[in-house]
Amino acid sequence: MKVIVAETGGFCMGVKRAMDMILKATQENPGDDIICTFGPLIHNRQVLEMLSKKGVRVVESSEECAGKTVLIRAHGIPPDQRKKLKSVAKKLLDATCPRVARVQALIRRHARKGYLPIIVGDPEHAEVRGLMGYSEGKGIVINKVEDVADLPDTEKVLVVAQTTQNEKTFNEIVDAIKEKYKNVEVYNTICGSTHQRQEEVKRMANKVDAMVVVGGYHSGNTIRLAEIARQCGLPTFHVETEKELDVEKLASFETIGVTAGASTPSWMIRRVVEVLESFTHKDSALYHHALFKCLRMLLNVNVVVSCGAGILSYVAASIAGSVRSFPFALMSALYVFAMHTINRYTDKASLRLREPEQAAFYEKWYVPLCSTSALAVLLSLYIAYLGGKLVFFLMFLISTLGLLYNVPIIRSDKNILSHINKLKDIPGSKTLFVAGAWGAVTSIIPDIAQGTFSFLASSYAFLLISLMVYVRTAIFDLLDIQGDTIVGKETIPVFIGESKTKYLLGGLIVLTIVLVATGTLTEVVTGYTWCIIPSVIVLAACLLIYRNRILLPGTLFEALVESFAYLAGAMTAICKLFS
């Protein structure tokens, strides 16, 4: 089944800003149950459940806010409520969306000049209730053309829109108001993000057979996206999670469009896409479905990634000018398999929040996966033991660090490091540790074991492998940035931001190419080093695909990223065969 994902789906600027503010507040008040949001932060039940597990409470009255840190959500609130909150709250954080604040200011200014403020929107929506508070008691809310006939006679009229309003409805109402009144000031205050989402749904209507809209059932902007899709004549499915997808009905369509409301996090969109990708059109061959399921399973149980590590061990030996024996390539694969699997279990609380389906998979297969991982650790250590005491010590050390990554082992006093008690709590540690560990077990340690260690050549191979793995890992971290931010995982994108991470990865890709050229020209490494350039190009392409949303952030994209190791191995083998 072909799936097309809207580029504009997911958190809008206002929601992201509110999320950043509440998460910052939880970090500054760890363990304190004093952080509240005045009303639900966003219309997404799953995200609210995540926040509640971090100690964020939803309150509905100013009395409940006494002595607490209170955040005003992106929808904004009436000025009288703000005044009450300020008088009772310990600290007031204002996350009102700047675009909503602009509408509030327009209404207040015109109301004081004698205009009748008319708000086109849902009278029960939190944003509209907040806007009415700035109308000096004069505002009127309407949401259909028929309401215009009931508007009172007046000389001056101001017309604004709820920022998530349907643009077609707004324009129709404005036309009717202009026919009724002579002096009308119209401000199309529909958010640019809302406008783009709605227009993209209309454009997608000619490319897809049906539309899936992901978002809360109480989210106004999500509901309107579904309405627009239906107005375009598309069979439309509004779901909150991937569990609500109607497999039977969706299987009758060849191409499915996916869009999402402003309160829908990226990882929820990705889960919906992954499920849709796995569907088989009723007229398609079953082997397509079987192949996809098999690929998903191999990715879930870390077979793809561990085999990739074994292949990189062979590539590292070719770069350094040595020959890798199978046992030590196997040692690399076993280590990566064990660490990736075991850390899923030691970080299961985080996994349950970000990826409940994957967490359920790991819980279901707990005994076989844990048993296999334990066996993999022991076997990798046994192979290392055969390589000598130093090799065994290095593998034991790196395995211990990997096993303890998510385990509290660090005690710190009440100072700048007070929030760090695990290796994973060190900012940016995950991406760096994964890259360094892969580099060590694929190049340095096997070379020492085989007696082929050369400081310059082996170190150069370590650096090149680590750089590629760093880029690979950071791309996955970019996909998980929203979930990692909420659960508090200190990845590079969370630590330095999405934009800076993209620039960093672009720079590392260029650096890798430069190092390949420099190393081969100076003969520090062999000519086979050029064989990793196609893999570097694949990683660069994956970064561009992520940035431009060319391919869906699902199973196929994950497989494409992991393919860099297989491509490096294949190119090296081909070059050796014909050299």
Letter for the amino acid at 127?
E
> Is the domain of 270 the same as that of 402?
no
221-233 per-position pLDDT tens digit: 889 899 999 999 9
What is the predicted pLDDT for the residue at 114? 93
Q: Is the pLDDT of residue 10 over 90?
A: no
Query: 122 lies in a domain?
Result: yes
Query: 5 lies in a domain?
Result: no
- The pLDDT > 90 percentage for the chain reads 49
431-459 per-position pLDDT tens digit: 888 999 999 999 999 999 999 999 999 99
> Is the domain of 105 the same as that of 84?
no
Residue 290 binned pLDDT confidence (cut-offs 50, 70, 90): confident
What is the predicted pLDDT for the residue at 389? 94
The gap between the terminal CA atoms of the chain, to the nearest Å, is 42
Average pLDDT value for residue range 503-525:
95
Q: Please, are residues 58 and 48 in contact by the beta-carbon 8 Å criterion?
A: yes
> Is the domain of 462 the same as that of 503?
yes
Which of 97, 121, 142 terminates a domain? The answer is 97
Choice among 28, 64, 127, 179 that is catalytic: 127
Query: 1 lies in a domain?
Result: no
> Is the domain of 88 the same as that of 103?
no
> Is the domain of 91 the same as that of 103?
no
389-418 per-position pLDDT tens digit: 999 999 999 998 887 766 665 554 444 444
Letter for the amino acid at 475?
I
Neighbours of 389 (CB within 10 A): 9
Rounded CA gap, 356 and 363, in Å? 10
Query: 4 lies in a domain?
Result: no
Residue 62 binned pLDDT confidence (cut-offs 50, 70, 90): confident
Flag the least confident range among 132-136, 162-166, 490-494: 490-494
Query: 3 lies in a domain?
Result: no
24-35 per-position pLDDT tens digit: 888 777 655 578
Query: 466 lies in a domain?
Result: yes
Q: Please, are residues 533 and 512 in contact by the beta-carbon 8 Å criterion?
A: no
Q: Is the pLDDT of residue 239 over 90?
A: yes
Q: Please, are residues 319 and 460 in contact by the beta-carbon 8 Å criterion?
A: yes
Query: 168 lies in a domain?
Result: yes
Using CA atoms, how far residue 41 sits from 47, 59, 349, in Å, is: 9, 10, 22
Q: What is the pTM of this model?
A: 0.73
Which of 295, 322, 348 terminates a domain? The answer is 295
Q: Is the pLDDT of residue 246 over 90?
A: no
CATH code of the domain covering residue 14: 3.40.50.11270
Rounded CA gap, 132 and 109, in Å? 13
DSSP letter string, 472-495: HHHHHHHHTHHHHHHHT---HHHH
- Contacting residues for 16 by C-beta, under 8 A, at least 6 apart: none
Q: Is the pLDDT of residue 551 over 70?
A: no
Specify burial of residue 114 (Cβ count, 10 A radius: 0-12, 13-18, 19+).
Answer: exposed
| 440 phi and psi angles, rounded to 5 deg | -70, -45
What is the predicted pLDDT for the residue at 415? 44
What count of Cα atoms within 13 Å lies in the side-chain half-sphere of residue 387? 31
Q: Please, are residues 357 and 242 in contact by the beta-carbon 8 Å criterion?
A: yes
Residue 282 binned pLDDT confidence (cut-offs 50, 70, 90): low
| 417 phi and psi angles, rounded to 5 deg | -100, 15
Averaged pLDDT score across all residues of the chain: 86
> Is the domain of 358 the same as that of 463?
yes
> Is the domain of 459 the same as that of 443?
yes
- The pLDDT > 70 percentage for the chain reads 88
Q: Is the pLDDT of residue 276 over 60?
A: yes
360-393 per-position pLDDT tens digit: 778 888 899 889 999 999 999 999 999 999 999 9
Number of domains present in the structure of the chain = 4
Residue 424 binned pLDDT confidence (cut-offs 50, 70, 90): low
Q: Please, are residues 576 and 570 in contact by the beta-carbon 8 Å criterion?
A: no
Letter for the amino acid at 6?
A
Flag the least confident range among 19-23, 285-289, 530-534: 285-289
> Is the domain of 475 the same as that of 566?
yes
Q: Please, are residues 236 and 226 in contact by the beta-carbon 8 Å criterion?
A: yes
Three-state DSSP class for residue 440: helix
Which of 165, 190, 215 terminates a domain? The answer is 190
Specify burial of residue 231 (Cβ count, 10 A radius: 0-12, 13-18, 19+).
Answer: middle
CATH code of the domain covering residue 355: 1.10.600
> Is the domain of 368 the same as that of 444?
yes
Rounded CA gap, 93 and 82, in Å? 11
Q: Is the pLDDT of residue 14 over 90?
A: no
Q: Please, are residues 403 and 342 in contact by the beta-carbon 8 Å criterion?
A: yes
Q: Is 254 known to be catalytic?
A: no
Q: Which range marks the domain in which residue 66 is found?
A: 10-97
> Is the domain of 531 the same as that of 435?
yes
Q: Say which residue, 311 or 6, is predicted with more confidence.
A: 311
> Is the domain of 340 the same as that of 418?
yes
Query: 2 lies in a domain?
Result: no
What is the predicted pLDDT for the residue at 334? 96
Q: Please, are residues 107 and 139 in contact by the beta-carbon 8 Å criterion?
A: yes
> Is the domain of 266 the same as that of 409?
no
CATH code of the domain covering residue 163: 3.40.1010.20
| Strands 35-38, 69-72: pairing kind | parallel
